[in-house]
């Protein structure tokens, strides 16, 4: 048997790569190295969901202070210190990164700093040195992409938005996905004038249409301008900020331009194709059900394979890989009924099929509830929640559950267990609700909204 330097070399120190590396070393005594060219923790912890949700929390206090007056609180003059929020966020990320370093260190994983390049099926180069391994794991994640628009160099992405020195008075966000609507909510709540520009006719492509419509309405009620079926033709720096030429109106001026138009697998320039690893047209690594690439000794997990770009999915893929390689239990990842959330204001939670997708293969019934949350009966806020269940008529099984409104992600996490377990509408109907809560709506919707297929 060849004498390799390591049993496993992982390129990428994000959630999936760290999880697989830790457990390979700690549980199975494997000699493991992790290579990372930025910060340990990856997109989610350092450039994504964690810092973004901290900003969402910070922004939401603006609404809470307004709502408090309806409950008798005199909040007085309120102001926000953006620099203080940024400093607190940065401190928390530093703390989390130190935890990741400690977890790897205590598991016996060696860390290497630099860009890992695949030389061949068993060799990786980093910082001018080469190392061999029985298996190589590529977990390099994704990276924001921007279109080739004149003046695009003036725009920022979500990476830079998380480290702004000042809160802009005006911002244009190009894109209608979850990153765009989440940042739109953050900047709007903190007092910025926000315009969202989307090519499509609505935000959040791929989500249930009812949720898309409901959130777009709520965003507009909060003062966010959503310009649909519109594209930016060029960006120009001017004395007062930036000028955007659009195809829908002549020009729009702003202090900051942010593009949230998607992410691409981070596979460029690391030797994959040269080593024989097959990539898809968008640069994603092609893998089989066990995360194995076209090169037998090389595996890939997480956003870089472009299946479901969610941190818990990368973690699960990492654990499945450890079982496959080191426990003699070939384990594939199930991508069915994975719950997800959009931390917009108000947030969205979803699990299972959208109504449109369900109607392709099933004869369905739709149950839906729209209501004003109890909190806002006294706060006076004009904000509504929407809940939706999609049911297969033939089996009575819940095919999808969706919610927009306060606490939606927390509520849908529990609902996701039932959907994953194959619960039926009768199971939901037989469940006694907790009163008064919003969540009880999911077990009290008795009449279908419409019965047509």
CB of 18 within 8 A of CB of 103? yes
- 279: DSSP letter: B
What Cα–Cα distance (Å) separates residue 264 from each residue in 71, 122, 156, 235, 278?
Answer: 46, 26, 16, 23, 16
Phi, psi of 385 (to 5 degrees): -110, 150
Residues with Cβ within 8 Å of residue 378, at least 6 apart in sequence: 70, 71
Q: Which two tokens stand for residue 127?
A: 């910082």
Q: Which residues pair with 196 in a beta bridge?
A: 173, 226
Does the annotation mark 435 as catalytic? yes
Q: How far is CA 389 from the centre of its chain?
A: 23
Residues with Cβ within 8 Å of residue 423, at least 6 apart in sequence: 397, 398
Q: How many Å apart are CA 23 and CA 7, to the nearest integer? A: 13
Q: Are strands 123-126 and 117-120 parallel, antiparallel or unpaired?
A: antiparallel
Q: Choose, from 63, 80, 135, 435, the residue flagged as catalytic.
A: 435
SS3 track for 213-255: HHHHHHHHHCCCEEECCCCEEEEEEECCEEEEEECCCCEEEEC
Tokens 């609180």 correspond to: 73
Closest CA to 154 of 223, 245, 265: 245
CB of 291 within 8 A of CB of 139? no
CB of 295 within 8 A of CB of 208? no
Q: How many Å apart are CA 28 and CA 166, to the nearest integer? A: 48
Beta strands in 333-434 (DSSP E): 340-342, 348-352, 364-371, 385-392, 398-404
- Termini Cα distance of the chain: 60
Q: How many Å apart are CA 340 and CA 412, to the nearest integer? A: 8
Residues with Cβ within 8 Å of residue 332, at least 6 apart in sequence: 289, 290, 320
Q: Are strands 398-404 and 385-392 parallel, antiparallel or unpaired?
A: antiparallel
Residues marked as catalytic: 435
């Amino acid at each position: 048997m060849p004498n390799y330097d390591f049993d496993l070399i992982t390129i990428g120190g994000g959630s999936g790569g760290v999880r697989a590396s830790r457990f390979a070393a700690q549980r199975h005594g494997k000699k493991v190295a992790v290579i990372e060219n930025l910060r340990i923790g990856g997109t989610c912890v350092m450039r994504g969901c964690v810092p973004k949700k901290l900003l969402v929390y910070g922004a939401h206090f603006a609404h809470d202070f307004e709502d408090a007056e309806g409950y008798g609180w005199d909040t007085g003059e309120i102001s926000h210190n953006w620099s203080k929020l940024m400093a607190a966020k940065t401190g928390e990320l530093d703390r989390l990164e130190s935890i990741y370093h400690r977890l790897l260190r205590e598991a016996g994983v060696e860390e290497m700093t630099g860009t890992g390049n695949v030389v061949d099926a068993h060799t990786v180069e980093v910082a001018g040195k080469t190392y061999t391994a029985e298996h190589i794991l590529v977990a390099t994640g994704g990276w924001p992409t921007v279109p080739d628009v004149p003046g695009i160099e003036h725009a920022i992405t979500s990476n830079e938005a998380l480290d702004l020195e000042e809160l802009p008075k005006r911002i244009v966000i190009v894109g209608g996905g979850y990153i765009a609507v989440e940042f739109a909510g953050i900047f709007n709540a903190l007092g910025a004038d926000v315009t969202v520009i989307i090519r499509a006719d609505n935000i959040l492509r791929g989500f249930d249409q009812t949720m898309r419509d409901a959130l777009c309405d709520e965003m507009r009620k909060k003062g966010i301008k959503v310009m649909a079926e519109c594209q930016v033709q060029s960006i120009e720096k001017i004395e007062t900020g930036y000028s955007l030429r659009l195809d829908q109106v002549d020009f729009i001026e702003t202090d900051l331009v942010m593009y949230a138009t998607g992410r691409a697998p981070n596979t460029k320039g690391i030797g994959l194709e040269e080593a024989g690893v097959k990539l898809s047209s968008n640069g994603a690594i092609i893998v089989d059900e066990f995360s194995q690439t076209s090169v037998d000794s090389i595996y890939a997990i997480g956003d870089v394979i472009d299946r479901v770009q969610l941190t818990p999915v990368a973690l699960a893929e990492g654990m499945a890989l450890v079982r496959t390689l080191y426990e003699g239990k070939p384990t594939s990842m199930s991508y069915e009924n994975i719950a997800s959330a959009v931390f917009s204001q108000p947030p969205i939670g979803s699990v299972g099929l959208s109504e449109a997708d369900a109607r392709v293969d099933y004869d369905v019934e739709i149950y839906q509830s729209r209501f004003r949350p109890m909190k806002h009966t006294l706060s006076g806020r004009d904000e509504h929640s929407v809940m939706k269940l999609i049911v297969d008529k033939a089996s009575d099984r819940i095919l999808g559950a969706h919610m927009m409104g306060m606490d939606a992600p927390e509520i849908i996490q529990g609902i996701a267990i039932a959907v994953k377990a194959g619960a039926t509408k009768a199971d939901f109907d037989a469940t006694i609700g907790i009163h008064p809560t919003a969540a009880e709506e999911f077990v009290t919707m008795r009449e279908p909204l419409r019965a047509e297929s």
